[in-house]
């Protein structure tokens, strides 16, 4: 079965891909607003994993709407959730039998509730799987250390391919650099370089 | 990592084992009350899959308590849930690094809520994974058909190794055969014979 898995170049989506790889024909799908080199960073990570990679461009209005949500809220969670749902919708509409992502048991955002998963499946005639939905943080860290070559850096410095990277850029364009630190807490993120032999 | 996976000989726990197999050192664990040949049926299914198998005997009082719950309720769900939690507790106490089962996204019973999973992990110093927690019914059916040799039969006739098989027997001993049909709806179950080549 052909699987399109939303891929940021980070640890979670890479690990989800490796868990699915023995059983599906995996294509890593990076959605982008085309405003940074995020998709190119994700493409390099995908090449390091030896997996097929595609890019889907999302409408810029989705980024602006997500940013406005974040400004209203004062925190990024709901805006990130909106973009992730748009990414799954776009991937489901791109012709894959099965659609997937790196959401985990203990995630706060983005999440994919069962109701959204079933709605996505019904509306697009696809199947949705979340390979990490039944895995907690400690197991994911152990498997990632065993299977992946990873670099971690503070999120503002890291050249990766996730929504946050691009949304920070859109936010700075629309509201100025100073707002980024108000909305996005500083945290360490990971970028995947390849598989461990 | 050593993984102990609660195994009934049915489709779901067998498929969960195959999804985990590339990444863990899997042992299939059948909990039994020792009142039928359920554990022996599960052992044969495990042999068909080429995976290690162990049996853990649960206290008969757990079966009696579950049966009393089912009689009070008039349906089996809460009793099955109690036995499944006891099975996970017993497996977590048996020395495995990681404990697992075949619970799925769309299951009604047994389920493993995140709160129970985290409590199990904290109390026993183990990790818990549910490989099928992020998979819906259609995907599970497709993967099972691709990977497993399966027989399906009405649940009362099937020689398998799950709790229902033994709980039916305990129920009949305590309350007579007639009560079984009142508590357990007739439904088709599956038993696994091996892997597809």
Sequential DSSP letters for chain A: -EEEEE--SSHHHHHHHHHHTTTSEEEEEEEE-SSSSHHHHHHHHHHHHT-EEEEEEPPHHHHHHHHHHHHHHTSSHHHHHHHHHHHHHHHHTTT-SEEE----TT--SS---HHHHHHHHHHHT-EEE-TTTTB-HHHHHHHHHHHEEEEEEETTT----SHHHHHHHHHHHHH-THHHHHHSPP-EEEEEEEE--
pLDDT of B49 > 90? The answer is yes
Contact A91, A56 (CB under 8 A): yes
- Predicted local distance difference test score (pLDDT) of residue B158: 60
Q: Note the pLDDT tens digit of each residue in B167-194.
A: 888 888 888 888 888 887 766 677 899 9
Q: Note the pLDDT tens digit of each residue in B58-96.
A: 999 999 999 999 999 999 999 999 999 999 999 999 999
A133 touches chain B (CB under 8 A): yes
Contact A6, A41 (CB under 8 A): no
Nearest to B139 by CA among A38, A59, A97: A97
How many Å apart are CA B193 and CA B50, to the nearest integer?
Answer: 11
A136 touches chain B (CB under 8 A): yes
- Predicted local distance difference test score (pLDDT) of residue B196: 93
Chosen from B21, B101, B134, B196 to mutate, greatest number of chain A CBs within 10 A: B134
- Predicted local distance difference test score (pLDDT) of residue B31: 94
Contact B162, B29 (CB under 8 A): no
Of the pLDDT bands very low, low, confident and very high (cuts 50, 70, 90), residue A48 is very high
Nearest to B128 among A129, A136, A147 (CB): A136
This prediction has a pTM of 0.92
Determine the residue of chain B that is closest to A111 in CA distance.
Answer: B134
Chosen from B139, B143, B196 to mutate, greatest number of chain A CBs within 10 A: B139
Mean of pLDDT over chain A? 91
Of the pLDDT bands very low, low, confident and very high (cuts 50, 70, 90), residue A176 is confident
pLDDT of B51 > 90? The answer is yes
Cβ within 8 Å, pair A98-B139: yes
Set of chain B residues whose Cβ sits within 8 Å of the Cβ of A116: none
For the purposes of burial, counting CB atoms within 10 Å of the CB of A159, is it exposed (0-12), middle (13-18) or buried (19 or more)? middle
Of the pLDDT bands very low, low, confident and very high (cuts 50, 70, 90), residue A161 is low
Q: What percent of chain B has pLDDT over 90?
A: 71
A19 touches chain B (CB under 8 A): yes
* From A86-100, A158-172, B56-70, B81-95, the region with the lowest mean pLDDT: A158-172
How many Å apart are CA A97 and CA A60, to the nearest integer?
Answer: 27
pLDDT of A162 > 70? The answer is yes
Set of chain B residues whose Cβ sits within 8 Å of the Cβ of A128: 136
- Domains in chain B: ranges and CATH: 2-195 (3.40.50.620)
Mean of pLDDT over chain B? 91
Query: How many contacts (CB atoms, under 8 Å) link A and B?
Result: 61
Cβ within 8 Å, pair A105-B127: no
Of the pLDDT bands very low, low, confident and very high (cuts 50, 70, 90), residue A186 is low
**Tokens 């390849």 — which residue?**
A194
Determine the residue of chain A that is closest to B137 in CA distance.
Answer: A127
Set of chain A residues whose Cβ sits within 8 Å of the Cβ of B136: 117-118, 121, 127-129
Set of chain B residues whose Cβ sits within 8 Å of the Cβ of A12: none
Over residues A41-61, the mean pLDDT reads 95
Cβ within 8 Å, pair A142-B127: yes
- Predicted local distance difference test score (pLDDT) of residue B1: 84
Of the pLDDT bands very low, low, confident and very high (cuts 50, 70, 90), residue B142 is very high
Of the pLDDT bands very low, low, confident and very high (cuts 50, 70, 90), residue A160 is low
B119 touches chain A (CB under 8 A): no
Nearest to B133 among A128, A134, A139 (CB): A134
Cβ within 8 Å, pair B133-A136: no
**Tokens 């640890």 — which residue?**
A11
């Amino acid at each position: 079965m052909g699987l399109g898995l939303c891929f940021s170049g980070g640890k979670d989506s890479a690990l989800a891909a490796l868990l699915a790889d023995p059983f599906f024909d995996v294509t890593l799908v990076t959605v982008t607003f085309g405003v940074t080199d995020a998709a190119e960073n994700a493409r390099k990570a995908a090449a390091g994993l030896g997996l097929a990679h595609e890019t889907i461009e999302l409408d810029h209005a989705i980024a602006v709407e997500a940013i406005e949500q974040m400004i209203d809220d004062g925190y990024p969670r709901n805006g990130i959730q909106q973009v992730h749902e748009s990414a799954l919708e776009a991937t489901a509409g791109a012709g894959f039998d099965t659609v997937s992502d790196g959401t985990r048991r203990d995630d706060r955002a983005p999440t994919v509730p069962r109701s959204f998963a079933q709605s996505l499946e019904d509306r697009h005639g696809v199947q949705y799987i979340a390979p990490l939905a039944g895995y907690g943080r400690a197991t994911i860290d152990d498997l990632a250390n065993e299977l992946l070559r990873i670099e971690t850096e503070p999120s503002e410095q890291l050249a990766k391919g996730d929504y946050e990277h691009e949304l920070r850029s859109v936010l700075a364009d629309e509201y100025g650099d100073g707002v980024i630190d108000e909305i996005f807490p500083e945290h360490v993120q990971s970028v995947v370089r390849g598989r461990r032999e």
